[in-house]
Amino acid sequence: MSVNWYLVVSALIFSIGAVGVLIRRNPLVVLLCLELMLNAGNLALLGFSRTWGDGDGQIFALIVLVVAACEVAIGLGIVVALYRKRLPIDVDELRELHG
């Protein structure tokens, strides 16, 4: 199995995630799409790790997972705070940084 197939799948998933970030207005969905993009990157890393035969890619993928988890935690926290303050849960409406 050449690594190309994995890269194509990774690119496909990345594009779907990117388009989702650009098009969707609900922050939760934006966060989901961000996750898609990150995991697409992970897939590419794992593929390359298998190609070169060492563990660098896999370790890097683990670090990416950690970062993704932290970022999602904070993002979800912000969404919950928005809900509590009864602000519109819409990325287009939320453009001024006060409140």
Partner 1 sequence: MSLQTAAWLVLAMPLAGTILIALGSRGLLTGKASGWLGTVAIGAAFVFSLITLVKLQDLPSEERHVASSLWDLANVAGVQIKLGIYVDPLSTLMILIVSGVSSLIHLYSVGYMASDRGYARFFAYLNFFVFSMLLLVLAGNLALLIVGWAFVGAASYMLISYWYRRTTATTAGIKAFVINAVGDIGLVLGTFFIFREMGVLDYGELFGGVQEAFPKNDASLVAAMILILVGAFAKSAQVPFHTWLPDAMEGPTPVSALIHAATMVTAGVYLIGRLHPLFEWAPTAADVGVITGAMTLLIAGTIGLTATDLKRVIAYSTMSQIGYMIMAVSAAAYVGGFFHLMTHAFFKALLFMAAGSLIAAMAGEQSLDKMSGFRKAMPFTFGCFVVGGLALSAFPLFSGFFSKDAVLYEIGQRGGWYVVVYVIGYLGSVLTVIYTWRMIFRAFWGEPCEQARQLEHGHLYHAPHPVNPMTGELEDSGVGFPGEEHHIAEQTWQMKWAMSVLAGLAVIGGVIFLPFGIMDSLETFLEPAFADSIIEHPENKGLEGLGIGLTSVLAIAGIAAAYRIWVQRPGTSAQLQGRFAAVHRLFVNKWYFDELIDLLIVRPFAWAGRWSRDSFERIVVNGLVVGGSTGVVKAGSAAVRAMQTGLLRGYAALVIGGLAAVLLYFLIRSA
The footprint of partner 1 (CB under 8 A) covers 18, 21-22, 25, 30, 91-92, 94-97
**How far apart are CB 25 and partner 1 at their closest, in Å?**
8
**How far apart are CB 85 and partner 1 at their closest, in Å?**
17
Residue placing its CB nearer to partner 1 in the complex, 26 or 51: 26
Q: Which two tokens stand for residue 64?
A: 């990416």
CB atoms within 10 A of CB 10: 20
> What residue has token string 């070169």?
52
Q: Which two tokens stand for residue 31?
A: 């966060």
Name the DSSP letter for residue 98.
Answer: -
Residue placing its CB nearer to partner 1 in the complex, 21 or 72: 21
**How far apart are CB 18 and partner 1 at their closest, in Å?**
6
CA distance 13 to 1: 20
Residue placing its CB nearer to partner 1 in the complex, 7 or 91: 91
